[in-house]
Amino acid sequence: MANLTEQERAKLLDSIRDVKDFPKEGIVFKDITTLLNNPEALDILMSHLESRYRGYNLDFIVGIDARGFIFGSILADRLKVGFVPARKRGKLPYRTISESYSLEYGSDEVEIHLDAFRGIDGAKVLVIDDLIATGGTAGAVVNLVKRAGGVAVESCFIVELKFLSGRERVASPIYSVLSY
């Protein structure tokens, strides 16, 4: 597996915009849309992930709603594996299983289709999203993977906000490309 060079890491970090006081005062939002519209940075990122996961012999990639869909579908195509969307409750058209998780004020739910892994018991699954903060959503998705008969071999995040300790809520190994 190829590691990012310092130059590649710097290019990725420079391609992520900080937006102060979003979505509320005191928050510095890490905006990956500027990475997405930078073809060189996106290629560095996706080539790195492709190299990392090529030898994992994955069956599926589960992308978390919504930015995980972008990275997950590109990577699934590159690795020639299935892509499964994990969506907010009520967004998937077929029978689903759901998992709730805590938010700062209240809770939310995430779902996948009941047949997401096409009956492959023990399917090797990579969970991917743009960012891990408190880990609630990612932890719920990893639980869904298990309930659907899969094995979350790793959860991958483009950015990790380490000071929020989100990895402690996720029952799979974690890989973060960048961390703050």
- How many beta carbons lie within 10 A of that of residue 117, not counting itself? 23
Catalytic residue among 67, 99, 118, 147: 67
Catalytic-residue membership of 87: no
Label residue 11 exposed, middle or buried (CB < 10 Å: 0-12, 13-18, 19+). middle
- How many beta carbons lie within 10 A of that of residue 145, not counting itself? 28
What is the Cα–Cα distance from 166 to 180, expressed in whole angstroms? 12
Catalytic residue among 6, 25, 95, 104: 104
Catalytic-residue membership of 67: yes
126 to 22, 63, 76, 99, 180: CA distances (angstroms)? 29, 8, 10, 18, 22
Label residue 29 exposed, middle or buried (CB < 10 Å: 0-12, 13-18, 19+). middle
Q: Which residues are catalytic?
A: 67, 104
